[in-house]
Amino acid sequence: MTAPSGPGARVVDFEAYVAERRPALLRWARAVAGDPHTAEDLLQASLVRVLPRWDSIREGAAADAYVRRTITRQYVSWRRQPWRRDELPSAVLPDRVGASDPDPDPGTGGVWGLVLMLPPQQRATVALRFYEQLSVAETAEVLGCSTGTVKSNTSRGLAALRRLAADTALAG
């Protein structure tokens, strides 16, 4: 029996890939975006962009790299849009102007909470290198930059994490 072919088979194959890889892709989107709500939107928008090109990239590792790169580029594109720059995600909306800030999300404590404080490019680099355990070359491919940029962003990101951890320890 041969595998089904045609546009319908492409969609079924894509749906199977998304069903299997969604948790990992959502973790990546969260690492890039910094909050779960934007990550959901980011993943959805990125998957919409990937589907038309699915026939040429559906191999396992190539698909993951392509989708992660699409997520990262989509996020950068969103951040460049003037109407998105002023958005500040919030789990709780204040009742009135000047109300105190809502409690931080308890799921973002520890090291992950510190990683979320990094600038987007450093956060993406650190997440790919240490959370996804990609090599410098693989990280450069996903982010669409040079290996030197990955190395410098990793170095700066780790230095910032050390400072943040020390500040947190002193404050606690």
Q: What is the pLDDT of residues 82-140, one digit of tens each?
A: 655 555 556 665 554 443 443 334 445 678 888 888 998 999 899 888 888 888 998 89
Amino acid at 78: W
Domain boundaries, the chain: 8-86, 108-172
Q: Report angle CA 116, 112, 31 to the nearest 5 degrees.
A: 50
Q: Which two tokens stand for residue 153?
A: 């962003």
Strands (E), the chain: none
Amino acid at 84: R
The pLDDT confidence band at residue 18, using thresholds 50, 70 and 90, is very high
Q: Using alpha carbons, select from 32, 35, 36 the residue that is nearest to residue 68.
A: 32
State pLDDT tens for residues 59-80: 667 888 889 989 988 988 887 7
10: helix, strand or coil: helix
The pLDDT confidence band at residue 14, using thresholds 50, 70 and 90, is confident
State pLDDT tens for residues 34-46: 888 889 999 999 9
* Orientation of helix 7-33 relative to helix 36-50, angle to 10°: 150
pTM: 0.51
Between 48-52, 82-86, 141-145, the lowest mean confidence (pLDDT) is in 82-86
Q: Report angle CA 60, 61, 65 to the nearest 5 degrees.
A: 120
Domain 108-172 is found in CATH 1.10.287.3610 = no
Q: How far apart are CA 78 and CA 76, in angstroms?
A: 5
Q: Which two tokens stand for residue 125?
A: 């680099």
Q: What is the pLDDT of residue 79?
A: 76
* CATH number belonging to the domain at 8-86, selected among 1.10.10, 1.10.1740, 2.40.50, 3.40.630: 1.10.1740
* Orientation of helix 136-143 relative to helix 147-171, angle to 10°: 100
> For the chain, first and last CA: distance in Å?
64
